[in-house]
Amino acid sequence: MIETPKPDSHPDMRSDVRSDVRSLRIVVVNTVMPPEGDEQDENALMQAERSRALRIGLLEAGYNIIAVFPADMHLPDRVAQLQPDMIIIDAESDSRDVLEHVVMATRDARRPIVLFTEDHATSSMEAAMAAGVSAYVVAGLQSERIKPVLDVALARFNAEQKLRTELSDTKLKLAERKTIERAKGLLMERHKISEDEAYSKLRRMAMDKNLKLSELAQRILDVADLLG
C-alpha cells in the first residue's frame, strides 16, 4: 500500500533547503511490511512499530512527508514522478535491493538519501555509503536527534555535489584545452605558422563567428576529419 500524506497548501512552492531544511519534501521508502490480519509475530510487530515511530518522529520534527512507498519495482517511477528533495529508507536489515532501486531512481537527479536500519554490519554500511547514502543510522532515532542527522546528511550531500561539479568542470576544461591544442597544431602544420600565430588565428576566427574557442577548434577538427 502507498501512503500519501495530505499535501501542503502550496505544493509547488519550495523554500531554499539551505535556509530551512524542514521544508524538504521527503519520501519514505519502507521495506518493513506490517503484520497482516491476526498475525502476532513479535518481531514483525516491533518492526512495524519502529517504522511508525520513525514517521511520527519526522512529522513531529516538522518535516514534510509527501509519500510512503514500499520497496518494489515501481519505486524508480514513483520517485521520478514526485521529485522529492530527500529520500529516507526504513530498512530492517539487508537493503541492497532497495538501494539499487533508489540509486537507479536518482541517477539523473541526485538527492540526499538517509538509511535507517537495524543492520550493524560494517560491510553493509560501507556498501550503502558507496551507493550514495548520505547518512546511515542504526537502531532507530530519538525525535530530538532527527534534525541534526538530516542536517548532516544534507550538508554531506551538498559537499559531494560541489566536488562532483568541480571535477566535472575540471574534466571539461581539460578536454577543451586538448581540443584547442589539436586544432592549433593542425593550423601550424597546414599554414606553416608558429604556435602564437595559430592561436591568434583561432581567436580571431572564434570572435568573427561568435563562438567559444573550443567550439571553433572542434569544428576545425571535424572538417579536417571529413576532408581526410
Q: What's the mean per-residue pLDDT of the chain?
A: 78
Taking only the tens place, the pLDDT of each residue in 2-32 is: 444 444 433 333 334 444 556 788 888 877 6
Q: CA-CA distance, 188 to 184, in Å (whole number)?
A: 6
Asked if pLDDT for residue 53 goes beyond 70, the answer is yes
What is the pLDDT averaged over residues 93-99? 68
Where is average pLDDT lowest: 15-24, 83-92, 100-109?
A: 15-24
Question: Residue 197 burial (CB < 10 Å; 0-12/13-18/19+)?
Answer: middle
The grid coordinates of residue 108 equal: 539523473
Question: Is the CB of residue 137 less than 8 Å from the CB of residue 148?
Answer: no
pTM value?
0.62
- The size of the chain, in residues, is 228
- Phi then psi for residue 57, to 5 deg, are -60, -40
Residues 6+ apart with CB under 8 A from 36: none
Asked if pLDDT for residue 34 goes beyond 70, the answer is no
E strands, 48-176, where? 64-70, 86-91, 113-117, 135-138
Put the strands of the sheet holding 86-91 in their side by side order. Answer: 64-70, 25-30, 86-91, 113-117, 135-138
Taking only the tens place, the pLDDT of each residue in 115-139 is: 888 777 788 788 788 777 888 888 6
Helix (H, G, I), strand (E, B) or coil at 28: strand
